[in-house]
Amino acid sequence: AVPPCINSTAQTNWLNRGDVRKALHIPATLPAWDICSDAVGEKYNILYWTVKDVYLKLLSMGLRALVYNGDTDMACNFLGDQWFVEDLGIKVTSKYKTWIYDDQVAGFYQRFGNITFLTVKGAGHMVPQWAPGPALHMFQTFLINGSY
Amino acid sequence: QYAPDEVTDLPGMTFKPSYRQWSGYLQAGPGKFLHYWFVTSQRDPTKDPVVLWLNGGPGCSSLDGFLSENGPFHVNNDGATLYENEFSWNKYANMLYLESPAGVGYSYSDDQNYETDDDKVAADNYQALQSFFVKFPNFTLNEFFIFGESYGGIYVPTLSLRVATGQAKINFQGFSVGNGLSSFALNDESLIYFGYYHGLFGEDLWRDLNDNCCNKGGCNFYNSSSDSCKIQVNIAFSIVYQSGLNEYSLYLDCEGRRGLSKTYEKAMTLLFRNYRKTLHTSKYSGPRLSSVSLN
């Protein structure tokens, strides 16, 4: 049960070592670890085809939100999420503009009240893996509600 | 309650970590136990926020997030030794990784019934979260955020709503989703434009898509009732997903080369359910070409 083009062999081997399982307090009776579960995935029932209403409720409570996308991903591409955020109908509070990491353009972002849409340039689906520096900067900035 | 869960030594760890970590189980209902791994901040655990991280799937483990994305250490290719991640998110936050729902990774249910849905996952995660703060009461006053990726686009907001409206005393401040699935329709619709404007489709296919799926200035690539439109969209999706490209990162090589998993096939069927009858019979669905002859 492995997503295509993702090599998870090393972490799978490490997590399945007996001494690692013991260190992590995993019962010996449990089956081997795998990155994805066929048992769960095959029987999973999707109830939400869009989470627009959920976002609107959360944002109306004043919660802070960040939707970010590595812009080379095709499983969940940035354009779809940009349209999703725009479709929330929340007033635009900043221009669509660049953000900088290590003196380079790291992507683009736009604020809509308490929600921000942000791209990470050149990163794929797993942003913290493929753009770790920019991802950490983005993460810290969001936590402190700072300026990207 | 957290003392027995503390991880004091890890095989393959040749460095001394500047943070503490615990691994164990959180109860998510009767007989349902979710595996968690909690690492404190490298800065000031008492003041830094607590961040929950959820990977997607549905049905994939958040330990992938820990061990290959934003965790404090990753596994070397030898599968035996670890190296420090200088860009770990626990530089600024206490990070909680939760394997969810039961049946994923080392999480389990006594009855081994792993059929679930979005609402049940949110409910289970919320219970597990309450279990976490009972186990770690010192962190209840810290700011709390929920982060997720991919199908976390569904997990994160649905759990966030329960946290925001529930009775548990959690200092919830916000949420974030990375490359998330927020709308199936917009994800499908936008992919056609993404593919065309990244040069994946030729002008012939683009013309056929427009001729068969668009009308009066608007296009519907998501759920058109036109069979001819479905055929064209199916061809486009096959180029994206089945021609040998790395769908998770367009410009990276495709690693692993393992065959398609049942989970992956299920995910594809769910994502592009309007095209599932034809997706597997398209002209691109045959065996992958060798790297030598890829065009």
Residue by residue, pLDDT tens for chain A (148 residues) are 456 788 889 999 999 999 999 999 999 999 999 999 999 999 999 999 999 999 999 999 999 999 999 999 999 999 999 999 999 999 999 999 999 999 999 999 999 999 999 999 999 999 999 999 999 999 999 999 999 9
Residues of B in contact with A58 (CB under 8 A): 157, 160-161, 164, 175
Q: What is the structure's pLDDT at B77?
A: 93
Q: What is the structure's pLDDT at B2?
A: 85
What is the phi/psi pair of residue B210, to 5°? Answer: -70, -40
Residues of A in contact with B37 (CB under 8 A): 24
Q: What is the structure's pLDDT at B294?
A: 41
Q: What is the distance between the alpha carbons of residues B290 and B116, in angstroms, rounded to a whole number?
A: 39
Chain B residue with CA closest to A47: the answer is B118
Contact B186, B179 (CB under 8 A): no
Query: Minimal Cα–Cα distance from B1 to chain A, Å?
Result: 14
Q: Do A3 and B60 touch (CB under 8 A)?
A: yes
Q: Do A58 and B161 touch (CB under 8 A)?
A: yes
Q: What is the dihedral of CA A50, B177, B95, B86, to 10 degrees?
A: 150
Contact B133, B140 (CB under 8 A): yes
Q: Do A52 and B164 touch (CB under 8 A)?
A: no
A41 touches chain B (CB under 8 A): yes
Q: What is the structure's pLDDT at B285?
A: 37
Contact B115, A45 (CB under 8 A): yes
Residuewise pLDDT in 10s, chain B (295 residues): 789 999 999 999 999 999 999 999 999 999 999 999 999 999 999 999 999 999 998 999 999 999 999 999 999 999 999 999 999 999 999 999 999 999 999 999 999 999 999 999 999 999 999 999 999 999 999 999 999 999 999 999 999 999 999 999 999 999 999 999 999 999 999 999 999 999 999 999 999 999 999 998 899 999 999 999 999 999 999 999 888 889 999 999 887 554 455 555 555 555 555 554 444 433 333 344 344 444 3
Chain B residue with CA closest to A4: the answer is B260
Residues of B in contact with A63 (CB under 8 A): 160, 164, 172-175
- Residue carrying the six token digits 């049905």: B59
What is the phi/psi pair of residue B40, to 5°? Answer: -80, 165
Mean pLDDT for chain B overall: 89
Q: What is the structure's pLDDT at B270?
A: 59
- Residue carrying the six token digits 């009461």: B137
Contact B97, B36 (CB under 8 A): yes
Q: What is the structure's pLDDT at B283?
A: 36
Q: Which residues contact A89 (CB under 8 A, 6 or more apart)?
A: none
Q: What is the distance between the alpha carbons of residues B33 and B24, in angstroms, rounded to a whole number?
A: 9
Q: Which residues in chain A (54-73) have CB-CB distances under 8 A to chain B? A: 54-55, 57-58, 61, 63-70, 72-73
Q: At what angle do helices B203-213 and B184-197 cross, to 10 degrees?
A: 150
A17 touches chain B (CB under 8 A): yes
Q: What is the structure's pLDDT at B254?
A: 83
